[in-house]
Amino acid sequence: MAYQTIKKETEIEFTEKKSTFIGSVKRVFTEEDAISFIEEIKNRHKGARHYVYAYSLGENENIQRYSDDGEPQGTGGIPVLETIKKNNLRNTVVVVTRYFGGILLGTGGLARAYSRGARDAIDFAGSIDRVSGYEVDIEVKYEAHGSLEHYLRENSIDIVDIKYTDVVNIIIFVETIGFNKIYDSILDITSGDVKIVKSDESLFYKDKNKLLKEIEG
């Protein structure tokens, strides 16, 4: 199942009626990781009044948690969670830290401020697709590998690894939805004189048209 998540961990702040709001966001895959990030933010910003947070975990949003952390009920955690959901993000935790400036914002003002803190952090961090795919090992003879490499380049399919022995072994990552077409094209290019082995299906990051197993952040 394809979904979107945060591209990189980030932090951004703004001031609203003398209160400073700091939005922090990170890609996580377990509840333990989400809680650890929340504690990290609390330690990073000691002395703040509130640490409002929300997170959504699992490809199907299996786990959703939020906290107003002492703000009036419904003014912090829910707006942050709704911002995550509106951006169709999974495996994402957002913490909006507030240094109180002495001026009350009211329930509407708080909800808007916490929503903005989450939205600004998410926008600054960017998002990336997670898609299902395969690692594909192609074993081809030297006579055909030039044509095969040309096909891969023309179709923006990155060669992850290539080894030259008595044959040429090329490793590529292929999205599930495009695998059959690529498989048939490789057979056609090599006149069927090729060995193609795909891994079990797993999730990859998709940055533009490039599939990656891991990314920083």
Place of tokens 């990656």: 212
pLDDT at residue 102 in the model: 85
Mean pLDDT within 193-209 = 93
pLDDT digits (tens, 9 = 90+) for 70-115: 999 999 999 999 999 999 999 999 999 999 988 889 999 999 999 9
CA angle 128, 129, 135 (to 5 degrees): 120
pLDDT, position 217: 73
Residue 129 has pLDDT above 80, yes or no: yes
* pLDDT at residue 130 greater than cutoff 90: yes
- Residue-averaged pLDDT of the chain: 94
Copy the structure tokens of residue 101. Answer: 């400036």
pLDDT digits (tens, 9 = 90+) for 160-189: 999 999 999 999 999 999 999 999 999 999
Q: Is the pLDDT of residue 1 over 90?
A: no
Q: What is the pLDDT of residues 95-106, one digit of tens each?
A: 999 999 888 899
Q: What is the pLDDT of residues 50-72, one digit of tens each?
A: 999 999 999 888 899 999 999 99
Task: Tell me the three-class secondary structure of 183-202, residue by residue.
Answer: HHHHHHHCCCCEEEEECCCE
Q: Is the pLDDT of residue 16 over 70?
A: yes
Instruction: Give this prediction's pTM.
Output: 0.87
pLDDT for residue 216: 84
How far is the C-alpha of 156 from the C-alpha of 103, rounded, in Å?
54
Whether 29 and 114 have beta carbons less than 8 Å apart is answered as: no
Which element (helix H / strand E) includes 112?
A: helix 106-125
Predicted confidence at residue 107, as pLDDT, reads 92
Q: Where does the pLDDT of residue 139 fall: very low under 50, low under 70, confident under 90, or very high at 90 and above?
A: very high
Average pLDDT over residues 108-134: 96
- List, in order of start, the domains of the chain with CATH numbers: 3-125 (3.30.230.30), 132-212 (3.30.70.240)
